[in-house]
Amino acid sequence: MSNLKREDIDPQGTQEWIESLEDEIEERGFEHTRHLLEKLVDYASARGARLPFNTNTPFVNTIITDQEPDFPGNRESERKIKSLVRWNAMAMVVNANKNSPGIGGHISTYASAANLYEVGFNHFFKGPNHPQGSDLVYFQGHASPGIYARAYLEGRLNEEKINGFRRELSANGGLSSYPHPWLMPDFWQFATVSMGLGPLLAVYQARFMNYLIDRGLMEDTGRKVWAFLGDGEMDEPESLGGLTLASREKLDNLIFVVNCNLQRLDGPVRGNSKVIQELEGSFRGAGWNVIKVIWGSDFDQLLEHENGDFFLRRAEEVVDGDLLKYVVKGGSYLREHFYGKYPELLEMVAHINDEDLGKMRIGGHDPIKVFAAYSEAVKIKGKPTVILARTIKGYGLGEAGEGRNITHQQKKLNDEELLHFRDRFDIPLSDSEASTAPFYKPDDNSDEIIYLKNQRKKLGGYLPHRRRQGPAIKTPEISLFQELLDGSGDREISTTMACVRMLTILTKDKIIGKNIVPIIPDEARTFGMDPLFRQLGIYAHGGQVYEPVDSDQFLYYKEASDGQILEEGINEAGAISSFVAAGTSYSTNGINMIPFYVYYSMFGFQRIWDFIWAAGDMRTRGFLVGGTAGRTTLNGEGLQHQDGHSHLAAAATPNIRAYDLAYGYEIATVVHRGLKDMYEKGLDVIYYLTVENENYIHPPIKDGISEDIIKGLYKIKATDKPTIRLLGSGPLMGETLAAAELLIKDWGIDPGIWNVTSFSELRRDAEETERWNLLHPDKEPRKSHLEIKLSKHRVPTVVSSDYVKMVSEQIGPYVPGPYYALGTDGFGRSDTRENLRHFFEVDRYYIVLTAVRALALDGKLEMSKADEVMKKYNLNPEKPSPITV
Ligand SMILES: Cc1ncc(C[n+]2csc(CCOP(=O)(O)OP(=O)(O)O)c2C)c(N)n1
Ligand SMILES: [Mg+2]
């Protein structure tokens, strides 16, 4: 386009060049013309004519009219279906808000995207019964009314159901606001409405399908991943974050469709420039195949006109803010302000009246253009495709919101607006009928319903559709982990080492080994997982094309096309997306895969909780492992590395079972139960384990404690005359045991000792028990695990964990007797473990002090004893608080 932007000093010469090029295209085709142009560019560069880097093509459709395939559908039927879906989607939101003002919902997004979806549904999206298997479609979250409305026409959702849009608690159940597999487990597959998650999840989904194919676990049947996204959504860093991975991995099974209505919630996405061009640059620069669908067939006449260059030039100049204004102001304004800029251009549209001029359809609303784009996208080889389709937000709403800044929030239409909508889309309803915004579905024997069902039948059934279970995997016996159950003997090891050992054993198992998916964001060496590189190989679609620097070593850096490890690089968001793809494979691919995503604990929940939340929503199954966890156990790294709060986030995520583990046998027990629950029983839960890097001796498991480990609390030591109990957890179990010794030795107090493996599991159980008791006052009260274990003695409890106090305080209300929590609130520090534990006041001396004071407060000792403790252990009363410094 640069010739359009600059003054042409030799128009005649330029024309001659163009004509020669025209001849080349005619005679030798595109391939040779491209070659010729590249040669010319190279030559000019070699001669010093530096060309500016440009990733943009002109602001026109990528596929020219001559290249469009024939449209195979019945346009009339498809138009009618699309209009009906539009009407019902609108009615769903309007009615929901009429019945319950403020219930929300979106009309305008689907109104802009209707054609993009309908072309897909009628011609492309393969359904669950397709011989090649189902495509995976990520729907734009707030376009959900349109997807429900289609399911209503298909006969999959009845009127009662769609009347319950956003009223899920109504007697007969309703429809979730957005795509939520948790709430509609037979319908939605992917949780997309938190902007930016969909695009990244889709990239890694497509990559994971290739992984399964390359590892010989799944057949390559050409299934596609379609991701429908908003143009405003593309501003999320995650949206563009996976682009280079997608091209590097040659994901030709991936298609992004960006609904470029040029608007987000508040106003234009790029009022002062062009979002489509900006996105084109980003995607092309990242190596994607970009198909722009900007102008509809109505504009072909202008583009093909002998003065078409003026149209191109004007299209190039205009900014999105202006394009939006033209939509709102209509034909005469458009003529004056857009076409009026050049007399030649004005002349070109002289034969079109104002009304028709304003109505000329743009690309995203034209089935022919969208069909052409999809047809190319499904055929392209070796790279992913993005379709940038220009649409109008609130299309068809007219004054009620078409293209207006308020359109995103529009939820109510008055009588006049409803009649306008009805007329615009030819809905066969009378004035009085239409003004009540009823749902409308033609007879099952009508042409359009027959057509709609038939198209889906040809494509293998309805979408979205979610499969609840994959074939179960038999869990190996727990004796598989015997060496962990037996303890470490006199070897000092960390829980991280025990965990890696567990993973190594699992991946070697004959039955389950191949299903394990270790996922690491560039941290394998930190955790001592690097021996797995050689044993399992690192997945690389194209294999290893270089000789690794350590090739002469036994444990070399081995990349392979059938590698099992997903080494994601420094990319927690990408790695969790792989976790989701693997952990939902039971549903999306019918293959139970078992992801272990092992990451630096601090960069887990804190950084990517939104993805973890979505993983929960999507019923992902797998193990999240937070390595080098614990605010004081990770000693040298300091403030931004020391995780002391991920267990708070985990506790608040409904289907996460979180454990902070102290010994190898606990890891074996919890992982074994996780495998059984998730892959044998098919429970939709995620196990979260924190493991640490402190070395100590791991004892062997005692008989009969496995169930207690799972429930979250087991006994380490009982006493004859209980006066106080100590609860330790994870890496601070060592300090708790040491404190118990001091209490006996220095103060003659013999505490009971317990190990807490999961505060959140204990709390959940206690809350559920309490709730049952509340609602069944007439019945014998039930007892929680905490009560069963601890209620025999009403003695004070002192608990110490390497997490903020709120983590252990979760169970405070349910523990009989006074409850004292020590924890690691405040910013971390770099220092030795010993100094850190002193600084955070969680070490053995503070445990002893708290215990003695607790007994004094309980009336069992004099308070002066606490003073003695302070003196004996040199505890400084004026020491700064870790919370405030
Ligand atoms: C992470 C996140 N932030 C904010 C929102 C609230 N939100 C919902 S839709 C929307 C605007 C979407 O604009 P766009 O992506 O262009 O979609 P359109 O409706 O225009 O098709 C916003 C801000 C959200 N859903 N997720
Ligand atoms: Mg938008």
Residue 324 half-sphere exposure toward CB, CA atoms < 13 A: 25
Whose CA is closest to 665, among 698, 689, 629?
698
DSSP 8-state code for residue 409: G
Whose alpha carbon is nearest atom 4 of ligand 1? 195
Q: Report d(CA 6, CA 287) in Å as an integer.
A: 28
838, 858 Cβ separation under 8 angstroms: no
701, 669 Cβ separation under 8 angstroms: yes
Residue 864 half-sphere exposure toward CB, CA atoms < 13 A: 1
CA separation (Å) from 649 to 571, 613, 779, 825?
A: 20, 10, 34, 15
pLDDT for res 5? 55
Three-state DSSP state, 385: strand
Average pLDDT of every residue of the chain:
96
What pLDDT, in 10s, does the model give residues 56-81? 999 999 999 999 999 999 999 999 99
Q: How far is the CA of 202 from the centre of ligand 2 (A)?
A: 19
Q: How far is the CA of 149 from the centre of ligand 2 (A)?
A: 21
R_g of the chain computed on alpha carbons: 32
Phi, psi of 517, deg, nearest 5: -120, 95
Q: How far is the CA of 165 from the centre of ligand 1 (A)?
A: 19
Best mutation site among 142, 238, 275, 327 for ligand 1 pocket (most ligand atoms within 8 Å of CB) = 142
Spell out a b/e string for 177-191, using b for 16 or more CB atoms within 10 Å of the CB, else e. bbbbbbbbbebbbbb
DSSP letter string, 713-735: EEEEE--SS---EEEEEGGGHHH
Q: How far is the CA of 305 from the centre of ligand 2 (A)?
A: 31
Atom index in ligand 1 nearest the CA of residue 112 equals: 21
Three-state DSSP state, 754: strand
Residues lining ligand 1, CB < 6 A?
109, 112, 142, 193-196, 230-233, 259, 261, 263-265, 269, 393, 408
Atom index in ligand 1 nearest the CA of residue 234 equals: 15
| Sheet (strand 713-717) strand order | 713-717, 752-756, 725-729, 797-800, 819-822
CA separation (Å) from 104 to 94, 165, 191, 707?
A: 9, 10, 18, 45
Atom index in ligand 1 nearest the CA of residue 232 equals: 16
Q: Take residue 528 and report the two structure tokens written for it.
A: 């001592």
Q: Report d(CA 143, CA 177) in Å as an integer.
A: 10
DSSP 8-state code for residue 255: E
Neighbours of 607 (CB within 10 A): 15
Q: Report d(CA 454, CA 153) in Å as an integer.
A: 13
What pLDDT, in 10s, does the model give residues 290-308? 999 999 999 999 999 999 9
pLDDT for res 659? 98
Q: How far is the CA of 15 from the centre of ligand 2 (A)?
A: 39
Contacts of 703 by beta carbon, 8 Å cutoff, 6+ apart: none
117, 135 Cβ separation under 8 angstroms: no
CA separation (Å) from 700 to 219, 480, 497?
A: 44, 15, 16
pLDDT for res 3? 44
Atom index in ligand 1 nearest the CA of residue 269 equals: 16
pTM: 0.96
293, 369 Cβ separation under 8 angstroms: yes
495, 691 Cβ separation under 8 angstroms: yes
Q: How far is the CA of 396 from the centre of ligand 1 (A)?
A: 20
Whose alpha carbon is nearest atom 13 of ligand 1? 264
Q: Report d(CA 799, CA 793) in Å as an integer.
A: 16
Q: Report d(CA 257, CA 227) in Å as an integer.
A: 6
Whose CA is closest to 691, among 673, 714, 668?
668
Strands 538-539 and 559-560: what pairing?
parallel
Three-state DSSP state, 605: helix
How is the chain split among helix, strand and coil, in percent rounded to 5?
45, 10, 40
**What secondary structure, in 3-state letters, does 280-347 show?**
HHHHHHCCCEEEEECECHHHHHHHCCCCHHHHHHHHHHCCHHHHHHHHHHCHHHHHHHCHHHCHHHHH
Specify the DSSP element, H or E, that contains 450. Answer: helix 447-458
Q: Take residue 851 and report the two structure tokens written for it.
A: 């215990």
- Mean pLDDT in each 10-residue stretch from start to end of the chain (885 residues)? 64 91 89 88 84 88 95 97 98 92 92 98 98 98 98 97 94 94 98 98 98 98 98 98 97 98 97 98 97 98 95 96 97 98 97 97 98 98 98 93 88 92 96 96 96 98 97 95 98 97 97 97 91 95 95 93 97 98 98 97 98 98 97 95 98 98 98 98 98 97 98 94 95 98 98 98 98 98 96 93 98 96 97 98 98 97 97 97 94
283, 231 Cβ separation under 8 angstroms: no
Best mutation site among 107, 408, 410 for ligand 1 pocket (most ligand atoms within 8 Å of CB) = 408
Neighbours of 404 (CB within 10 A): 20
pLDDT for res 721? 86
Q: Report d(CA 194, CA 178) in Å as an integer.
A: 10
Neighbours of 794 (CB within 10 A): 12
Q: How far is the CA of 620 from the centre of ligand 2 (A)?
A: 29
pLDDT for res 37? 87
Q: How far is the CA of 229 from the centre of ligand 2 (A)?
A: 9
Whose alpha carbon is nearest atom 19 of ligand 1? 109
DSSP letter string, 464-528: S---------PPPPGGGGHHHHT--TT-EE-HHHHHHHHHHHHHH-TTTGGGEEEEESS-HHHHT
Neighbours of 479 (CB within 10 A): 10
136, 225 Cβ separation under 8 angstroms: yes
Q: Take residue 523 and report the two structure tokens written for it.
A: 């941290």
Strands 492-493 and 696-697: what pairing?
antiparallel
